[in-house]
């Protein structure tokens, strides 16, 4: 296969992904929102608006238009990064609409970690001094705490 055919094959594969419709009513949008926030923050750390804007393009339409999303993300991510981001996003959305809980298979663990993180944060915030906080921490699985600490180390936040 020539390099031209290989390039065309990759383009056709991406185009075929974008040609499939997404029904946002079947998607667990809070999980997608959190994923978008993390992805955009990793690429544009000082931008508080872009992630919300992208999310609204999805949540505001029953059948979001990936071409419109891509055109908007080209402006602040650049064409190459926009294509990569939109491809990941669309894969997650397509996967999520086929799941009974609206969760993309690739983000099943993401949702679990998010829930565990929120639980630990709640314990920290509501736990009283000394023994109450220590008892609260014992109620959380050690593996969960390690996983959350790894997330904080990797992403710099909960």
Looking at the structure, tell me whether residues 90 and 127 fall in a common domain. no
Report residue 129's pLDDT band, with 50, 70 and 90 as the boundaries: very low
The pair of three-digit structure tokens given for residue 40, joined into one six-digit string = 């955009």
Same domain, 81 and 37: yes
Contact 21, 36 (CB under 8 A): no
Q: How many domains does the chain have?
A: 2
Contacts of residue 105, defined as CB under 8 A and 6 or more positions apart, other chains included, come to 95, 99
- The yes-or-no verdict on residue 73 having pLDDT over 50 is yes
Q: If 0-12 CB within 10 Å is exposed, 13-18 middle and 19+ buried, where does residue 52 land? A: middle
Does residue 19 sit in the same domain as residue 97? yes
Q: Tell me, yes or no, whether 128 and 75 share the same domain.
A: no
**What is the tens place of the pLDDT at every residue in 86-112?**
999 999 999 999 999 888 888 776 555
Whether 125 and 90 map to the same domain: the answer is no
Q: Are residues 64 and 121 in the same domain?
A: no
The CATH number of residue 30's host domain is 1.20.1390.10
Higher pLDDT, 77 or 141: 77
Q: Is the sign of the CA dihedral 113, 84, 13, 53 positive or negative? A: positive
| Parent domain of 146 | 108-155
Examine the pLDDT at 118 and tell me if it is beyond 90: no
Percent of the chain scored above 70 by pLDDT? 58
Whole-number average pLDDT of the chain: 76
43 and 59, same domain (yes or no):
yes
């Amino acid at each position: 296969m020539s390099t031209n055919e290989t390039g065309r094959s990759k383009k056709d594969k991406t185009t075929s992904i974008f040609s499939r419709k997404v029904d946002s009513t079947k998607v667990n949008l809070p999980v997608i929102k959190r994923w978008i926030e993390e992805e955009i923050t990793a690429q544009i750390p000082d931008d508080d608006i872009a992630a919300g804007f992208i999310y609204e393009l999805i949540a505001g339409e029953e059948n979001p238009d990936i071409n419109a999303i891509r055109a908007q993300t080209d402006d602040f991510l650049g064409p190459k990064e926009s294509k990569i981001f939109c491809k990941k996003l669309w894969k997650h959305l397509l996967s999520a609409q086929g799941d009974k809980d609206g969760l993309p298979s690739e983000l099943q663990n993401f949702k679990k970690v998010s829930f565990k993180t929120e639980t630990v944060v709640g314990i920290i915030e509501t736990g009283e001094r000394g023994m109450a906080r220590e008892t609260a921490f014992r109620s959380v699985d050690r593996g969960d705490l390690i996983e959350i600490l790894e997330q904080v180390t990797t992403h710099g936040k909960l």
